[in-house]
Amino acid sequence: MDTDFRRVVVAMVVALGVFVLYQAIITRIYPPQPPTTQPAPAEPTPTPAPGPESGPTGTAAATGPTTAAPPAYAFVASASLEPVILGGADGDALRVELDPRGASVARVQLWRKDKRGRFVYRAHPEGNAAYELLSPVWAEGVEWLSYTTARVWIKDPEPRSWDVGRIAWETVEAEPRRAVFRTALRSTDGDRTVLELVKSYTLRPNQPVIDLTLEVRNTAAQPLTVWVDQYGPLGIPQEGLQYDTRSLLSAQLNKTTVELNKAYQHAKLLDATLKKDPVRLTVPDKGPLVWLALTNKYFGAFTRPLPVDAPQVDYIAGVDGVAVDVTGRHKGDLLARLTTIPRTLAAGESLRVPLEIYTGAKDTDRLGKVNPAYADPAGLHYQLAQAPDTQSCCCQFAWLRELMIGLLGAIQSVVRNYGIAIIILVVIVRTLLHPLSVFQQKSMYRMQAAMSRLQPKMQAIKEKYANDKVRQNQEMMKLWAEEHVNPMSNFVAFIPLFLQMPILVALWSGLNTDINLRHAPFDGYWIRDLSAPDAILTFPPVTIPLLSWIMGDITSLNLLPLLMGVSMWLQQKYMPKPQFQKPAEPAAPPAGGQRTGGMTPEEQMRQQQIMAYVMAIVFPLMMYRLPSGLNLYWMATNIFGIGESLLIRRQLEREQSRPPAPTPREPRRPGLLGRFFQHIAAQAEELQRKADALRESEDGKKGRRKP
């Protein structure tokens, strides 16, 4: 191994050691904070601001000295905890389980079926279990539910609150697609009712949409200033075994444009919760809240406040985001709490909070089929929820992602298999890049052969001007210009890789966002889901020192990335390489016993091969947890490259076996790069001549000054 290459390896090892040492020191100085419960925001005031944190279903009283409920009044609790089921019949898009506690949503299952009677969205590639989009979350022995009406506030004259999320509401109506719950704030003797809460759920036929309406009625004889804390969706599952892409995000109306406000993925929101930092999902000065969404890689639960009096009347004061179950198996489920603007209700007047809930795929085509406004950038623009997934890399282009997914879909419509469609896509892309690959490999081959042929002359120049690096470089450039050699041609080898990187990123983004590829199999036995790792064997998370810092804990045995690494090694092995002749040793060793000629072309080629073999190990590690479709694409690319290299080697062998031309060719005129090297060499030689003349003049002046 050459000394320079050894230095590179040593530098990489030292840098890695410094990184490990830094992590150990910084962990010792700043240890991670122990898990705590969720933070309690500041106590609300009658101004439009979110209220204090409400307890989950079954827990938590209000905090602060002014939040104690008046002893003469309490909300009436029902004795029945019987759940209510909406939908779940043939033709329904959803099956919704409602819980009387807080009049909440316990579970939402995507119930649409295809012509064969199988669920369109299944929990696993095999089997026929409906996909459960929302489910309860247990935290510290308490069950958290979606869309819980958590707390009611009354200013009389100080803010006082009642926890209505832990009591069972009375079920007033229970129909196949509609349910109504009710509870009331009454005096302890039961003679007088102050406030009445009525909450209704209506499931739209054949649509994954639920209409939720909360009505607060003032049944007292005097005006009351009231506001409510209302929870959003909770318990969306993590898609896949490797990466958690669950996000909590909101959009607001900025003049006439719907803009994505903030997006918190699970890790960011969990960290904010543990640090007790307030997390606001809305900006007060931007405009009305348009929608709130809890999403994973393919699905989402979108909550939209419906207008009451006018299209842009906003009755939402703000939205907070917290992470629940910070210590349990969910590791930070995301929950949003909406707080209404305090409103003074006259006797007999009601406050209505109508919400529209869409639960389903966040794919643009499916959104548009449910409601064209969902997918309209000038409308509700729900597809903004894909931003955290599609904007995670700087070297991707939206048009290229759409092109790749559109092309994949067109090929799949013919071959009826996305795995085969990916392979055909490889053939198309590599066929378009084939002329560039031929030019690249032949240029490298000819460059390496030329460098081998010029090695004796280069060695002679280095030995002759061993103590004059400037003159040595001048002579080298002059030699390259005379022999029409481009020393920068090795960089051409990276052009096909650079051209394919945007394609790889676009395909990766498409595999992460296009629901058509979810559970799309290649063979149905080994690769059952092209949007996830092949995972032929799953096991509990295994932490491998140093390696887990790069790629995380290992949870499955993925064979496809390993095969992809083998294909990279074979592609490097079969690339055309010239035969090098061993250079003659110098007649006398240089002073110090060290070689002055640097690396020979053969050593440079060996170094490039070592780097390529290292990449054949690093690349599978980098792509180990990526979708199997992407690994399939890269492995098919390598296999295509192996065949391409064999073809180019045969072409080069035929070129070398041709007899020489009968008449000598005229000397070829130097090319652009050759003329550039000649110009640089001439300028350097002129500068050197002036420097020598100036030095001789100075030496002459010094000699005349001597006595």
pLDDT at 621 over 90: no
Q: Where are the domains of the chain?
A: 73-390, 398-581+597-657
Closest CA to 248 of 331, 321, 303: 321
pLDDT tens track for 551-560: 677 888 899 9
- Burial class of 395 by CB neighbour count within 10 A (0 to 12, 13 to 18, 19+): exposed
Residue 323's pLDDT is 78
Single-letter code of the amino acid located at 551:
M
How far is it, in rounded angstroms, from Cα 492 to Cα 438? 11
To 10 degrees, the CA torsion angle through 555, 559, 565, 568? -150
Confidence of residue 97 (pLDDT cuts 50, 70, 90): very high
73-390: CATH topology = Beta-galactosidase; Chain A, domain 5 (2.70.98)
pLDDT at 674 over 60: no
Distance between first and last Cα of the chain: 57
Looking at residue 168, the DSSP 8-state letter turns out to be B
CA-to-CA separations, 158 to 43, 45, 223, 317, 585, in angstroms, rounded: 11, 9, 14, 19, 96
Q: What is the mean pLDDT of residues 81-105?
A: 95
Q: What is the mean pLDDT of residues 360-373?
A: 92
CA-to-CA separations, 212 to 66, 103, 178, 303, 348, in angstroms, rounded: 31, 11, 10, 10, 22
β-pairing, 537-542 vs 554-557, is antiparallel
> What global pTM score does this model have?
0.74
How far is it, in rounded angstroms, from Cα 148 to Cα 338? 11
- 289 DSSP β-pair partners: 252
Residue 452's pLDDT is 72
Residue 13's pLDDT is 53
CA-to-CA separations, 214 to 197, 204, 227, 359, 576, in angstroms, rounded: 7, 17, 12, 19, 73
How far is it, in rounded angstroms, from Cα 72 to Cα 164? 16
Q: Which of 178-187, 574-583, 655-664, 667-676 has the lowest mean pLDDT?
A: 667-676
pLDDT at 411 over 50: yes
Residue 387: which residues within 8 A CB-CB, separation 6 or more? 249, 260, 263
Single-letter code of the amino acid located at 360:
G
Do 302 and 360 contact (CB within 8 A), yes or no? no
Residue 44's pLDDT is 34
pLDDT tens track for 279-305: 888 888 888 899 999 998 899 999 999
The reply to whether omega before 305 is within 30° of 0 (cis) is no
